[in-house]
Amino acid sequence: MKFVIVTGMSGAGKSTSLKMLEDLGYFCVDNLPVPLIVKFAELSYEPNSELTKVAVGIDARTGLSRVESAFNELKSAGYSYEILFLDCDDDVLIKRFKETRRAHPLVGDGRVEEGIRKERELLKYLKKNASYIIDSSHLLTRELKSEIDDIFAKNKGYGNLFITILSFGYKYGIPSDADLVFDVRFLPNPYYIDELKQKSGESAEVQDYVMSFKEANVFLDKLDDLIQFLIPNYVIEGKNQLVIAIGCTGGKHRSVTLAGRLYERLSEKGGYGIRLEHRDVYKDSLRR
């Protein structure tokens, strides 16, 4: 029996995640009042129940003042469960509420910022005890679906950390959300090779040129080793989102190549959500 509690910040993707779980064969109930969770678990775990996979959505509107006692009851009764927590940066949540013209459920016509503050306080217990935390701040819907599939369909290990590997060009500025920044401008620049100038690091020709230098391979090995050391320590510290930025002059050749190679290595190891983004790869061509 799989019994999943789906919760998190309003606007972070809780309802969307429930729909995705429903597509995976889960019997889903949204906005179930917290006092009813134990009763619902009793019904779900009955020997003659036909339910094998259940997902229950709860949020700040469903009586969270009693959430700790309810979960203690579940534990005492021997009902196993998992908590999926959907999180998101405050500024992204504010933008989403403005774009949809929705009021925050905790403040009505009041300020969204205040609603977010109150909600974070109410959800502290659930986030602290979450089995999985997905930060949707920079996720597309298909990327969120991939995370849900990895956890609940493919049963992959999940480290509550989502990694973004981001290539960029220094001429366009360092990404403001980067946690780690690495400069690969020490490598020979394909821009000065006529047949490579108009191509990007997404092409095999540019990749072969960049990786033909010993320094590029040594850098990649050392960077991979550093990231493998840092990731579990970030998880212990409670970090659930990591942005690794790799930059070159224009963000088109060297940084794109190295970001892609690092993405391949981390993807092979698995255990964490991961995405690759090339911020500036086409900016030069757009400017012409």
pLDDT at 156: 60
**Domains of the chain as residue ranges with CATH:** 2-152 (3.40.50.300), 162-287 (no CATH)
Report strand pairing: 273-278 vs 180-183.
unpaired
Q: In what order do the strands lie in the sheet with 180-183?
A: 180-183, 241-248, 162-169, 273-278
- Contacts of 87 by beta carbon, 8 Å cutoff, 6+ apart: 8, 9, 12, 127, 133, 134, 135, 136, 137, 240
pLDDT tens readout for residues 28-39: 999 888 888 999
The average confidence (pLDDT) of the chain is: 89
**Contact at 8 Å (CB) between 163 and 223?**
no
pLDDT tens readout for residues 231-240: 988 887 778 7
pLDDT at 288: 47
pLDDT tens readout for residues 214-249: 999 999 999 999 999 999 888 877 787 899 999 999
Please indicate whether residue 224 or residue 69 has the higher confidence score (pLDDT).
224
User: Which whole number is the average pLDDT over 29-54?
Assistant: 88
C-alpha span between 36 and 28 (Å, rounded): 14
3-class secondary structure, 14 = helix
Tokens of 175: 């990404």
- Contacts of 215 by beta carbon, 8 Å cutoff, 6+ apart: 186, 187
Alpha-carbon distances, residue 231 vs 19, 129, 163, 164 (angstroms): 30, 20, 9, 12
Where does 193-282 have alpha helices with state H? 194-197, 204-211, 214-237, 254-269
Evaluate if residue 157 carries a pLDDT over 60. no
C-alpha span between 255 and 169 (Å, rounded): 8
Residue type, 214: K
User: Which whole number is the average pLDDT over 154-158?
Assistant: 63
User: Which whole number is the average pLDDT over 122-145?
Assistant: 88
